[in-house]
Structure 1
Amino acid sequence: MAYNFHNWFQRICLPKKVRNQTMETIRGQLIKIAGKVTRSARYITFKLCSSCLYKEVFWQTLQNIQQLRVQIQ
């Protein structure tokens, strides 16, 4: 199941320039990012530091995830 999730995540969610990287590298670049999540009544805001090297990849991945459509059958 982990392999299937990794394969799906690479093919659908990640930008093209990082698709060939290993899951360990992706985890280090996208998940282990120092940031702050702020929640208000209507919005959830991600605040990343201005010197984050991978913030463009992070935002592109987040945008790709948001564009996915869920079909419940």
Structure 2
Amino acid sequence: FNWFRRLVLSAEMQKQRIDTVRLKLLKIAAKVVRSARYITFKLCSSCPYKEEFYDTLSAIGKLDVQLE
């Protein structure tokens, strides 16, 4: 969790406990829509943590994977 916190989460979210991060990022209702090329998460328009979710997902996508 410490690497996830350091590399992916925003500065505001880095200060929060694991339970709070799990509540805000993982325990949300979403509809998974699959098309021919993409998998899309559709969040409710009233989701209070939508911006944090998409920012974290974008940061995960930008990580440079180094395989040895």
> What do you get for the CA RMSD once the two structures are aligned?
0.7
**Residue type at the aligned position of 2:34:** R
Equivalent residue, structure 1, for 2:54 = 59
**Residue type at the aligned position of 2:42:** K
**Residue type at the aligned position of 1:41:** A
Of 2, 5, 26, the residue aligned with 1:7 is 2
Equivalent residue, structure 2, for 1:3 = none
Q: For each residue in 1:32-58, what CA deviation from the matched residue of structure 2 results, as whole angstroms up to 9, or x when unmatched? A: 011111111200101000000001110
When you count helix as a share of all residues, which structure comes out higher? 1
Q: What is the TM-score normalised by the length of structure 2? A: 0.95
1:1-73 matched pairs, under 5 angstroms: 6-73=1-68
**Structure 1: 4+ residue segments shifted above 2 A:** none
Distance 2:30 2:55 in 1: 16
| Number of aligned residues | 68
Using the aligned pairs only, state the percent identity. 56
